[in-house]
Amino acid sequence: MVGTPASAKPKDEDSEEASVKDDSGPHDSDDSCGGDPGNDFSPEEMKIAQLAIGVVSETLVVIKELIRFITSFNKQENPDNGNDFVNPLERLLKLCQEIGLQVDELGACLYPPQEFSAMKTAMEKISSIIDGMQDRGKYS
């Protein structure tokens, strides 16, 4: 709609553009939640939060690789072996859901006062689940 006045645009486009602008506004400023979110953290707590971000980022990499594997596995699937295909995917789904729960738990533990033992437990569970995925992949 090049050269079309804004009043001639369909209302859906205007409302969509407005909602996108509204959604991006608060995220661009440091004033969300009444101040800079980093001000709630001591330097030590901020360092731990940054390490946790690294853990979650690496976990996301694992999930993306898993999606690539499933996509390629799906292309090779033989329709006669439905259960052989569905059962491993259901196990992977349950493992991914458990990882999601642990990531949520980790995030909840980061806000001051940080719960170090709960963070350690969540990260150990994430690591254990990922190790289990790798072990199952070797022997499947």
pLDDT tens for residues 31-55?
444 456 557 888 988 998 899 999 8
Domain boundaries of the chain, sorted by first residue: 39-75+83-140
Tell me which CATH code domain 39-75+83-140 carries.
1.20.1410.10
| The pLDDT value given to residue 38 | 55
Cα–Cα distance list, 44 to 12, 35, 38, 103, 112 (Å):
47, 19, 11, 21, 11
pLDDT in tens, 101-115: 999 999 999 888 899
- Do 118 and 109 contact (CB within 8 A), yes or no? yes
Taking the CA atoms of residue 29, residue 33, residue 37 and residue 39 in that order, the dihedral angle to the nearest 10 degrees is 110
Q: Which residue has the tokens 């898993």?
A: 66
User: What pTM did the predictor assign?
Assistant: 0.61
pLDDT for res 103: 94
Q: What percent of the chain has pLDDT over 90?
A: 21
Who's near 114: CB < 8 A, 6+ residues apart?
45, 48
